[in-house]
Chains A and B, each alone.
Chain A
Amino acid sequence: MEINITTQGTGTIAQLIGRLDTPAALEVAPAFESLKEKADSTIILDCSQLSYISSSGLRIFLTLRKEAAGKGGKVIIRNLSPDVRSVFMMTGFLNLFQICGNALQEISPDR
């Protein structure tokens, strides 16, 4: 699991690469802590290369979302793959986040 955080203007883009399972969620937890400090602005979570997510991953997304709600910031989730999107749908997470990007166009051909 990899996370690349870049700053663009007033916003922050975090690109998530790989499988966000329970051990991976522990691994990226410090990065999400640092993202929380920027929760008063716009944070874009780019999920185009996120192939899998479990509840531990959803939990850190939600924690960040709550932080942003408290600080008046925004969390935008971009380019969800259909598999990850279905997990978001199952858990009602599609309603909690601002979702953008057409995931289908972003998927690499071997998917």
Chain B
Amino acid sequence: MGQKEDNLFNKARRSLQVRLSLVLLIVVAIVFTGVGLMQYFYFMKEASHPLAAPVFIGLLIIGLVLVVQLMIRSTRNMKQLGAIIAVKERMENELEIARGIQMSMIPKIFPPYPERSDIDIYASIMPAKEVGGDLFDFFIQDEKIYFCIGDVSGKGVPASLVMAVTRSLFRTVAAHEKSPGRIVTAMNKSMSDMNESNMFVTFFCGVLHLKTGHMRYCNAGHNAPVLLNTTKSLLPVVSNVPLGIVPGATFSEQETDLRYDDALFLYTDGITEAENSAQEMFGEKRMLGALSGLKGSKAHLEEMQQAVSSFVGDAPQSDDITMLFIHYVNDVKPDEAERHLLIHNDIQQIPQLAGLVETIAQEKKLDHSLSLSLNLALEEAVTNVIMYAYPEGTDGLVDIEAIIREDSLSLVVSDSGQPFDPTAEPDTDITLGVEERKIGGLGIYLVRSIMDSVSYERTDGKNILTMTKKL
């Protein structure tokens, strides 16, 4: 890019020199031709001097030569200008294509999940130049929405390249790291390792569990998002360093719970630092003020855009502006929630299963022995998941759903761990004596003995075990 710019600069300088010498030539040509003509008319009338004819013919010839030269030069000059315009147009074209590529890297169809009733998202990105250094992204996996927003230092083409790298890294890392702290730490590692241009990225990453509203997040030097519930407040964030500066930096993670109808507003400093013609900044106070009670993400977004643009007025946009609204509309009905349980892959959470079974037993008036048996089958299924689907040290969730019918009950245990089919395990031989009897293998045997049917399937990266008991 640098060499091309130099070439262009040299060409422009040369064309300026050419233009100056052209002006000079035109002046000289006009003077000479004028003097020649004047002398011609003068001497024609008063043809007395012997030198009159040769002088005026000579002057006329010099004038004509200069005019011809002028024409040749200006043709050459036009060609050069044409070449410069062509280079400029090509660069503009390339920037336009780059802009298209950059915009294709961020979600642009809104609402992104029209089929879902639990999440409502709207976002917009407005680069100050053709390409910019802001980014946002989100995707849903295993009933969790992973989202991020970031702002690369600087603007224009260099920032846009770092933006592209950041966005790709987010997708790559988040595909296998499930916690925002680990996602950010891994991203920072690869970004600082190759950071020769000393650019950095302020970044916020969150993971919201759509069934529970539990959100974990990690902030790397980015502006604190706004939490919109009954009040408007900035989400408490540990600032941490931005990405790409400190190679071995650790990024602390935070957590909170979103409730029904809560919303999050994420933005880049293009909003808070938007300037009007008097060079005043929009600021946090005006930003919070612009967020009214409306809860729809689209309405919020339009409202904010309106507030910023009427504040800025005619002043040129100085920085990229990005906004991301996430409205959480967890629509689990209370009577359904009671039959649903979500636990971490931690053995210590096993006693919670008894609570779920107790709720079902009361609802269906099951006797104590049956309730204990159901508890046992459920415990065995969940213990298997914790022990085998999630390798030790990994963090995961186990989702338990009870489907209560008139004459039967199904317990559905699902997890996002590695494929594990407990029904494929061979039955333990319960007739063996003490010496031969194996220590393990009892769990699935108990599940099979207690329940009437047990089936396993692997769908969308999940292990789903469905156990049904006739009532």
Contact = CB atoms under 8 A, between A and B. Distances in A.
Interface of A: 19, 21-23, 26, 51-52, 54-56, 58-59, 62-63, 65-66, 69, 82-83, 86-87, 90-92, 95-96, 111
Given A22-B350, A26-B347, A54 B376 contact: yes
Given A91-B445, A96-B437, A54 B380 contact: yes
B interface, size bucket: 20 to 34
A21 B351 contact: yes
A87 B383 contact: no
Give the interface SS of chain A, mostly helix, strand, loop or mixed.
helix
B368 interface: yes
B379 interface: yes
B433 to A, nearest CB: 7
A55 B313 CA distance: 71
Contacts of A23: 347-348, 350-351
A82 B369 CA distance: 9
A87 B347 contact: no
Given A22-B347, A22-B379, A83 B446 contact: no
B368 A59 contact: no
B194 to A, nearest CB: 45
Interface of B: 347-348, 350-351, 354, 368-369, 372-373, 375-376, 379-380, 383, 430-435, 437, 439-440, 442-443, 445-446, 449-450
A22 to B, nearest CB: 5
Nearest to B353: A21
Contacts of B348: 23
24 contacts: A21-B351, A22-B347, A22-B350, A22-B383, A23-B350, A26-B347, A52-B372, A52-B375, A54-B380, A55-B380, A55-B446, A56-B383, A62-B439, A66-B434, A66-B435, A69-B434, A83-B369, A86-B373, A87-B376, A90-B450, A91-B442, A91-B446, A92-B431, A96-B433
Contacts of B351: 19, 21, 23
Nearest to A94: B430
Nearest to A54: B379
A59 B440 contact: yes
Contacts of B439: 59, 62-63
A58 B442 contact: yes
Contact of A96 (B375, B434, B440): B434
Contact of A69 (B354, B380, B435): B435
Contacts of B440: 59
B379 A65 contact: no
B334 to A, nearest CB: 28
In the A-B complex, the 9 residue pairs with the closest CB atoms: A92-B430, A55-B442, A55-B443, A90-B449, A69-B434, A54-B379, A22-B350, A83-B372, A22-B383
A62 B354 CA distance: 24
B350 A52 contact: no
A53 to B, nearest CB: 8
Contacts of A65: 434
